[in-house]
């Protein structure tokens, strides 16, 4: 069953962002990813006001950009799950789907 809504993945690790977006697309979600270090691409993607923004970054400037350009987007912070070596905690993919499921009709 296709999920409704749009998701923007902003990540420090491009491969992770692309993988999350691809998995969401398989589920029928319109999803794209951008690197957190690319301020211009992030700003352009936020102009579409995605329903959910998945953040895999601790960059304060990036977070401020998200809050300023797409203030109504729901934020899902996965930055604690990703790091060097083993993940600090398991990434619960369902958290992203739950944020989409709670969208108003």
pLDDT of residue 100: 82
49: left (phi over 0), alpha (psi -120 to 50) or beta: left
Residue by residue, DSSP assigns the chain as: -PPPSEEEEEESSHHHHHHHHHHHHHTT-EEEEEETT-HHHHHHHHTT--SEEEEE---HHHHHHHHHH-TTSEEEE-GGG--SSS-SS---THHHHHHHHTS--
Q: Between residues 33 and 93, which one has the greater pLDDT?
A: 33
pLDDT(93) > 50: yes
The structure tokens listed for 30 are: 């319109």
Domain positions in the chain:
6-100
Confidence bin at 96 (pLDDT 50/70/90):
confident
Q: pLDDT tens digits, residue range 34-57? A: 999 999 999 999 999 999 999 999
Q: Which CATH class is domain 6-100?
A: alpha beta
Q: What is the pTM of this model?
A: 0.85
């Amino acid at each position: 069953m296709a999920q409704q809504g749009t998701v923007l993945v902003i990540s420090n690790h491009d491969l992770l962002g692309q993988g999350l977006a691809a998995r969401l697309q398989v589920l029928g979600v319109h999803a794209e990813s951008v690197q957190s270090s690319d301020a211009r691409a992030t700003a352009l993607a936020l102009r579409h006001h995605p329903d959910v923004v998945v953040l895999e970054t601790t960059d304060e400037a990036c977070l401020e950009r998200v809050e300023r350009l797409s203030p109504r987007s729901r934020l899902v912070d996965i930055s604690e799950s990703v790091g060097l070596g083993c993940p600090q905690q398991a990434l619960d993919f369902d958290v992203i789907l739950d944020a989409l499921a709670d969208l108003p009709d």
